[in-house]
Amino acid sequence: MIDWTYLDRSGEEVGRSPRFPDVEQAEEWIGASWPELLENGVESVVLYDHGASQGTDRGAGQGVGKKLYRMALGPE
């Protein structure tokens, strides 16, 4: 499963997206959702793959996932 982690200006996690079965669907969703997220204070997002065999801990209770990439939503 794939999902996005939302980050504020300071890089703190402020939420997560629904989970998607593949990267393509997750990217399609962020393509449609980024303006609303930016308007609500989300400055960047990180895409995680929870089906990857090697992962990095996202924090207590949030599961393990492999970080695929980080992307800014507005001008840097």
Confidence band of 51 (pLDDT split at 50, 70, 90): confident
Confidence band of 14 (pLDDT split at 50, 70, 90): very high
Alpha carbon 53 to its chain centroid, in Å, reads: 18
Average pLDDT over every residue of 34-45: 97
In sequence order, the 6+-apart residues with CB closer than 8 A to the CB of 61 are: none
Burial (CB < 10 A; 0-12, 13-18, 19+), residue 53, is: exposed
pTM: 0.83
In sequence order, the 6+-apart residues with CB closer than 8 A to the CB of 64 are: 50, 55, 56, 57, 58
Enter the tokens of residue 66: 């492999």
Domains of the chain by residue range: 2-72
